Amino acid sequence: MSLKFKADDEQLRPMGRQTAGVQGMKFRDGDELLAMDVVRADMEDDLSLLVVTNEGFAKRTSISQYRLQGRNGFGVKALQLTEGRGELVGAVIVADSDQILAIMKSGKVIRSDVNEVKRTGRNTQGVTLAKPDKGDEILSIARNTDTDDDEDDENAEDADANNDSADSKEANATDSAADDSATEASDEGSAEE
C-alpha cells in the first residue's frame, strides 16, 4: 500500500522533542513500512515511484497517479502482487534519467536505467527487471548517484591530466634538448679558441 499526504503544518504540526509524534499511516496485520520519501508538489509530473519485488519484477508509476490523501490512512495499492512474483523489497522515487541498483542475496549488483521500466498504472503487476538465479533473490534497491555521464567526465579529466603530463614531459624533453644543444655549441666555441 502507498499513502501520499501533504506534509504541511496542518498535517504534521510542529512538536517538541519530548512528544511521541503523529501517525502517518495505518497498517493491516503483516504490513510494515518499506520506504518513504519527500516529493515536492512542482515535481510530481516528472517523478515516478519505482517498486521492486524479490523475484525481480519492477513497476514504475507516475507520482501524479497517487491521489492526495490525509495522513493516518491505509493508502492505495502500489503493485498488484500475485503468487510467483515475490514480495516487495524496495521503493524509490526516480526521474527518467536515473539509474537503479538491485542488490542480490548472492552479492551481485545489477545496474539498470529507470527508463527501461515502462511507466504503467498503479494497479498492475510490473515487468521483469532482473532474473535471479535459483536460490537467489533481490534484497534491496537503491538509486545510483554515479551516472555514466559522471564516469565520462572523470575519464575526460583523466585524459586531460594525462595530456597535461605528456605535454609537460614533452616540454621538459624539448628544454633538455635545447640545453644539450646550447652546451654543445658552448663546447664547440670553447674548442675553437
CA atoms within 13 A of residue 111's CA, in its CB half-sphere: 7
For 15, the grid coordinates are 512538536
Measured in whole angstroms, how far is the alpha carbon of residue 80 from the centre of its chain? 24
Q: Given this model, what pLDDT does residue 144 score?
A: 93
Q: Given this model, what pLDDT does residue 100 score?
A: 96
Per-residue pLDDT tens listing for the chain (193 residues) = 888 888 888 888 888 889 888 888 999 998 889 999 999 888 888 999 999 999 999 999 999 898 888 888 898 888 888 888 999 999 999 999 999 999 999 999 999 999 999 999 887 888 999 999 999 999 999 999 886 665 555 555 655 555 555 555 555 555 555 555 554 544 555 444 4
For the chain, how many helices (H) and strands (E)?
A: 1, 9
How many C-beta atoms lie closer than 10 Å to residue 144's C-beta?
18
Query: What H or E segment, with its residue span, contains residue 179?
Result: helix 148-192
Angstrom distance (rounded) from CA 141 to CA 133: 17
Q: Where are the beta strands (DSSP E) in the chain?
A: 4-5, 47-53, 57-62, 68-69, 88-95, 99-104, 109-113, 127-128, 138-144
Q: Given this model, what pLDDT does residue 190 score?
A: 47
Angstrom distance (rounded) from CA 160 to CA 167: 10
